[in-house]
A and B are shown apart, each in its own frame.
Chain A
Amino acid sequence: MAAKKGRGLLGERLRGVEEVFAEVRGQLMGKIGIGLIVFFVAVSLYALATVPLSFANKWLDLTYWSKYPVVVPPTWVSHFGTPVAPFLDKVIDGPDSVQVQPVPLQYHGVRLFGVVERFSFDYNLKQPAFPQGVLVYARDVELENITAGGRLVTPGEVSLTVAVFLHRPDNLTILISDASVTTLKDFVSSGGVVRFSDQAVAQQMVEYYRKKGINMSLGYAQNNAARLAFGVYDPKTREIKPLTGTYTIEVVFNYLARGVNPGRLVGEINAGNIGVQSIEGVVKGSAYGLMGTDNYGRDLYRALLFAFPIELLIGFVAAVVAVVIGLVVGVVSGYYGGWVDEVIQRSIDVIGNIPVLPILVLVGAALQERGASGWTMLFVIIFLLVIFGWGGLALIVRSMTLSIKSEPYIDSARAIGASNTRIIFRHIMPQVIPYAMASLVFNVPSAILTEAGLSVLGIRHNLPTWGTVLAQARDYIFSGGRYDIWWWILPPGLLMGLMSIAFVFLGLALETVVEPRLRRR
């Protein structure tokens, strides 16, 4: 056999890999496979760059998502005919006006007296769909004490009434929040949030329709509060139709501090020493984002994106480690033989007999009971996948090693004094590497699918992965939710399938490398 010019040990081993790549590149399926994998890696890099690692924690913090609509499809469904109420999230930097209200005034059912600060923003509802609700956050609230009349007035002594009004396109104005009286200090310490109030809206709506001669029960009104607020009830069809047009949402903060001249208070608010300086107004529409939301309002697009690198990590780490172990063990077992071979073979046999899924689920459940963290569980799952994964390749590599071992050129190499290591790395390794790569290709999707399967079963590592998202969809439906949540169910499964297809195509193309008999003449 003509000796190849020395490319070094590394070069020799790479020879096998290079041959593989050349073959694969030349086939259509291989091209598609590689293309898809490149796409996945690119998206993963994009994900790592744009979504911070802390997203994993945000995923679990449900209050973070309270301003988003729940269980809504992506916004682009409007192009396909489904009407969509847009999602609005706007910061209003300064009030429209801060005025003194010298005498008590009844403003749409709310008593205003003292200092009245108004913010407002518009909401354009162009398509006939219902928003889910309205939220107002007081973003920038100043809480300095003010001296007045020789005394220090603290925010705890400033009484505050907060009310949110909805001015509809049909010139009806209703109060859409509770208008309870609290103090400035309490308002801030309880979060500074004003929520849409079903009861307030319901009462007003029942009253409004009663005046028109239409009977409506309070219970019905409460259950359909958001729809009534943004729609019109038709007694003939007993349906609520959305009211399109421009709505104005007015947020009123009514301050009253005893012993403080209201004019003085206005001055302090304007100067930015006390009171609400800016607000964030949110109208939860009926659609959100590129991929919709789940039952907690979590943005599925960001979750699925975040999961890309995690899925690749799971697949690659589990598969690569398993393949490397299988390769090494297979060669050692085949080459050295003897009791080492026996032991290794027996171990593979035992492992092969273990029912994989039950043991995985068992370990997962046991760890969950102990309260292991998300990343720990992920690590354990990968570890187990590796343990169950290296055996198949080891057997194949071993048998190949055995047949190569008996080739004449091995004997010649030994006769001229080649050491065992040299023989292994120079002659055996390059020939078994194509098998290793083929095995890699099939192990990756299986690892990903198994992890997803475990999530569906409830072994939660609480990190957002495609499997976790699917699992939560299933839980939601099985506990009585909607079942037509296509945007929630289809994308994760399709993504998993796509990634697996990428590797399977790669594997099919590799097949011709591994089985020379199959090469087209």
Chain B
Amino acid sequence: MLSFGVARVLRGTASSHGAPGFLMASSRVASVLVKRGIFLFVALVLIVVLAAVIIGATGYDKKVLQAIIEGQVRAYKQSLQQKGLPAERINALVENYTKTLEHIYGLDRPWYYRVLPLAFRTLTLDLGNVTQNQVAEVVGEQLPLRVSTAILEVLPRTIIMITIAELVCGIIVLFMGPLIAYRRGSLIDKAAITYAAIMNALPVWWLGLIAVFFFGYYLHIAPTRYRDVIYYINNFWSSPLHNLVEIAKYAWLPMVIVIISFLGSWLYGVRAIALRVVGEDYVAVARAKGLPENLVIRRYVLRVIAGPALTIVILGLAGSLGGFIITESVFGWPGMGSLYYAAIMSGDSATILGLIYVTTLVYIVARFILEVLYVWLDPRVKF
């Protein structure tokens, strides 16, 4: 994910049609932005359809539905047997029942009759119902449960853990990045690079595993069952201060892990960008003019890297919503990642499509906002 953001950012001023335009024609900007918006929306539709196709064409949803039908047929057969009907009659009734069920679930037609309507309904935000218990468990509710409710309930948990962590991380990075780039070759710089290299190399979830076992099982200063945090979040307003403390007790370890690992990759990215800028002529001029370092950083460096750095931060935030399947699974944290995981493992097509739609939507909206901001922040961007 990071590579795409950085790639776009490093594109610099290469225009897309080889003809330099001039930004002043704002209606032109508007039309380009509109075209962009439409394109992004089409991309969103395609992605949801793609996910639906994967679910259908690989026979995944068929297997899941068949399992459901088998369960119902078995129960039906047992109830018939208890009534003491003759075997032939039972078999005939069971066969009839099976056929009816298959028709209801749409198994008697090819997969695209099942998944594509589901996909289109999802696109109109009619996300449907959760069908699997495993998913409902993550949410902490019972079936019947609407997918939209499930997502909305689970969202805050991920937002708490990951977004705050990324914000803290982002602040640290935005401060340290230019400083380090400025003092290239110094001890801080080398330490930062080494740290970033190591953190990029080690899997986040491995650190998480070790942290849970060390701090949780061994030292007992962190919890080992993270599902319990649901209670404190759901009842937050009943006694906000107390619940906040409780939530913090659960959230501190995952947050620390996320911050540590992200510090690595972001530090490196922002440093790379800042290095580009610091090497520019006008910075050298500013320094030659004798301006104090702080002023040079604030006035010249920060403003220029604000754009690219902001890109990385916002894309990271938006992308984190869906991408934390592994980290959340290691901690057992009942957030969006765990919801995804439960949905995929149990074959709950409606939830899968709903989740993919929501997370991609957020990501695309974030990108669109970025495009607008980009035009505003960096006057060199030409269309």
* Pairwise interchain contact A500-B201, C-beta atoms closer than 8 A: yes
Smallest CB separation, B371 vs chain A (Å): 11
Query: With the chains together, A352 CA to B363 CA distance in Å?
Result: 10
Smallest CB separation, A401 vs chain B (Å): 9
Pick the contact of A349 from B43, B201, B217, B276 — CB < 8 Å? B43
Query: With the chains together, A477 CA to B210 CA distance in Å?
Result: 12
Query: With the chains together, A346 CA to B340 CA distance in Å?
Result: 27
* Pairwise interchain contact B50-A504, C-beta atoms closer than 8 A: no
Smallest CB separation, A319 vs chain B (Å): 12
* Pairwise interchain contact A357-B209, C-beta atoms closer than 8 A: no
* Pairwise interchain contact A442-B3, C-beta atoms closer than 8 A: yes
* Pairwise interchain contact A457-B329, C-beta atoms closer than 8 A: yes
The verdict on A362 contacting B16 (CB below 8 Å), with A355-B323, A399-B11 known, is no
Pick the contact of B325 from A358, A395, A406, A517 — CB < 8 Å? A358
* Pairwise interchain contact B275-A496, C-beta atoms closer than 8 A: no
Query: With the chains together, A270 CA to B74 CA distance in Å?
Result: 61
* Pairwise interchain contact A346-B60, C-beta atoms closer than 8 A: no
* Pairwise interchain contact A396-B218, C-beta atoms closer than 8 A: no
* Pairwise interchain contact B60-A369, C-beta atoms closer than 8 A: yes
Please classify the interface of chain B as helix (H, G, I), strand (E, B), loop, or mixed, using the class held by over half of its residues: helix
Pick the contact of A367 from B58, B201, B356 — CB < 8 Å? B58
* Pairwise interchain contact A366-B197, C-beta atoms closer than 8 A: no
- Asked if A17 is an interface residue, CB under 8 A from chain B, the answer is no
What are the residues of chain A within 8 A of B279 when measuring CB–CB? 517-518
* Pairwise interchain contact B201-A497, C-beta atoms closer than 8 A: yes
Query: With the chains together, A183 CA to B77 CA distance in Å?
Result: 47
Q: Binary interface profile of A, 438-459, with partner B (CB < 8 Å = 1, else 0)?
A: 0100100100010011001110
The verdict on A361 contacting B213 (CB below 8 Å), with A345-B16, A350-B47, A353-B363 known, is no
Smallest CB separation, A314 vs chain B (Å): 14
Query: With the chains together, A292 CA to B203 CA distance in Å?
Result: 22
Pick the contact of A363 from B58, B197, B356 — CB < 8 Å? B58
The verdict on A358 contacting B356 (CB below 8 Å), with A350-B43, A395-B11, A493-B203 known, is yes
Smallest CB separation, B203 vs chain A (Å): 5
With a 10 A CB-CB cut-off, give which of A457, A474, A499, A518 has the most chain B CB atoms: A457
- Asked if B248 is an interface residue, CB under 8 A from chain A, the answer is no
- Asked if A252 is an interface residue, CB under 8 A from chain B, the answer is no
* Pairwise interchain contact A483-B329, C-beta atoms closer than 8 A: no
With a 10 A CB-CB cut-off, give which of A356, A449, A520 has the most chain B CB atoms: A449
Q: Binary interface profile of A, 489-501, with partner B (CB < 8 Å = 1, else 0)?
A: 1100100111111
- Asked if B303 is an interface residue, CB under 8 A from chain A, the answer is no
Query: With the chains together, A369 CA to B326 CA distance in Å?
Result: 20
- Asked if B379 is an interface residue, CB under 8 A from chain A, the answer is no
Query: With the chains together, A217 CA to B55 CA distance in Å?
Result: 56
Pick the contact of B340 from A352, A358, A496 — CB < 8 Å? A358
- Asked if A262 is an interface residue, CB under 8 A from chain B, the answer is no
What are the residues of chain A within 8 A of B144 when measuring CB–CB? none
* Pairwise interchain contact A392-B201, C-beta atoms closer than 8 A: no
The verdict on A361 contacting B344 (CB below 8 Å), with A366-B59, A453-B205 known, is yes
- Asked if A155 is an interface residue, CB under 8 A from chain B, the answer is no
Smallest CB separation, A133 vs chain B (Å): 27
Smallest CB separation, B114 vs chain A (Å): 14
Query: With the chains together, A452 CA to B205 CA distance in Å?
Result: 10
Query: With the chains together, A493 CA to B205 CA distance in Å?
Result: 10
What are the residues of chain A within 8 A of B15 when measuring CB–CB? 402
Query: With the chains together, A405 CA to B364 CA distance in Å?
Result: 32
* Pairwise interchain contact B359-A457, C-beta atoms closer than 8 A: no
* Pairwise interchain contact A483-B59, C-beta atoms closer than 8 A: no
What are the residues of chain B within 8 A of A355 when measuring CB–CB? 319, 322-323, 356, 359-360, 363
Pick the contact of A396 from B7, B63, B193, B344 — CB < 8 Å? B7
What are the residues of chain B within 8 A of A457 when measuring CB–CB? 325-326, 329, 341
Smallest CB separation, A119 vs chain B (Å): 44
Smallest CB separation, B57 vs chain A (Å): 9
With a 10 A CB-CB cut-off, give which of B12, B54, B344 has the most chain A CB atoms: B344
A-side interface residues, number (CB < 8 Å): 65
Please classify the interface of chain A as helix (H, G, I), strand (E, B), loop, or mixed, using the class held by over half of its residues: helix
- Asked if A215 is an interface residue, CB under 8 A from chain B, the answer is no
The verdict on A362 contacting B275 (CB below 8 Å), with A399-B12, A508-B197 known, is no
Query: With the chains together, A122 CA to B201 CA distance in Å?
Result: 48
How many inter-chain residue pairs (CB < 8 Å) link A and B?
A: 174
- Asked if B179 is an interface residue, CB under 8 A from chain A, the answer is no
Query: With the chains together, A343 CA to B135 CA distance in Å?
Result: 38
Query: From A517, which residue of chain B is reached at the shortest CB distance?
Result: B279
Pick the contact of B210 from A361, A442, A489, A508 — CB < 8 Å? A489
* Pairwise interchain contact B200-A445, C-beta atoms closer than 8 A: yes
| Complex interface residues of chain A between 340 and 392 (CB less than 8 A to chain B) | 341, 345-346, 349-350, 352-359, 361-363, 365-367, 369-370, 391-392
What are the residues of chain A within 8 A of B359 when measuring CB–CB? 355, 358
- Asked if B352 is an interface residue, CB under 8 A from chain A, the answer is yes
Query: With the chains together, A493 CA to B197 CA distance in Å?
Result: 15
What are the residues of chain B within 8 A of A442 when measuring CB–CB? 3
| Complex interface residues of chain A between 478 and 521 (CB less than 8 A to chain B) | 483-484, 489-490, 493, 496-501, 504-505, 508, 511, 515, 517-518, 520
What are the residues of chain A within 8 A of B203 when measuring CB–CB? 449, 452-453, 493, 496-497
Query: From B202, which residue of chain A is reached at the shortest CB distance?
Result: A497
Query: From B356, which residue of chain A is reached at the shortest CB distance?
Result: A358
Query: With the chains together, A484 CA to B8 CA distance in Å?
Result: 45
- Asked if B159 is an interface residue, CB under 8 A from chain A, the answer is no
Query: With the chains together, A501 CA to B197 CA distance in Å?
Result: 6
Query: With the chains together, A496 CA to B3 CA distance in Å?
Result: 21
Q: Binary interface profile of B, 161-182, with partner A (CB < 8 Å = 1, else 0)?
A: 0000000000000000000000
What are the residues of chain A within 8 A of B363 when measuring CB–CB? 353, 355
* Pairwise interchain contact A402-B323, C-beta atoms closer than 8 A: no
What are the residues of chain B within 8 A of A483 when measuring CB–CB? 213, 217-218
- Asked if B40 is an interface residue, CB under 8 A from chain A, the answer is yes
- Asked if A403 is an interface residue, CB under 8 A from chain B, the answer is yes
What are the residues of chain B within 8 A of A439 when measuring CB–CB? 3
Query: From B361, which residue of chain A is reached at the shortest CB distance?
Result: A353
| Complex interface residues of chain A between 273 and 326 (CB less than 8 A to chain B) | none
What are the residues of chain B within 8 A of A353 when measuring CB–CB? 40, 43-44, 47, 360, 363-364, 367
- Asked if B330 is an interface residue, CB under 8 A from chain A, the answer is yes
Query: With the chains together, A346 CA to B15 CA distance in Å?
Result: 15
- Asked if A35 is an interface residue, CB under 8 A from chain B, the answer is no
A interface with B by C-beta (< 8 Å): 337, 341, 345-346, 349-350, 352-359, 361-363, 365-367, 369-370, 391-393, 395-396, 398-399, 402-403, 405-406, 439, 442, 445, 449, 452-453, 456-458, 470, 473-474, 477, 483-484, 489-490, 493, 496-501, 504-505, 508, 511, 515, 517-518, 520
Known contacts A361-B325, A396-B10, A515-B275; 19 further A-B pairs (Cβ under 8 A):
A337-B17, A345-B16, A355-B322, A361-B341, A362-B51, A365-B60, A365-B347, A369-B58, A395-B4, A395-B8, A439-B3, A456-B326, A457-B341, A474-B209, A484-B213, A489-B210, A493-B206, A518-B184, A518-B279
* 15 residue pairs bridging A and B, Cβ less than 8 Å apart: A337-B17, A350-B47, A358-B344, A361-B340, A362-B55, A370-B63, A391-B7, A392-B6, A395-B11, A396-B7, A399-B11, A490-B210, A501-B201, A515-B275, A518-B279
Closest 6 CB pairs of A and B: A500-B201, A392-B3, A366-B60, A366-B58, A493-B206, A399-B14
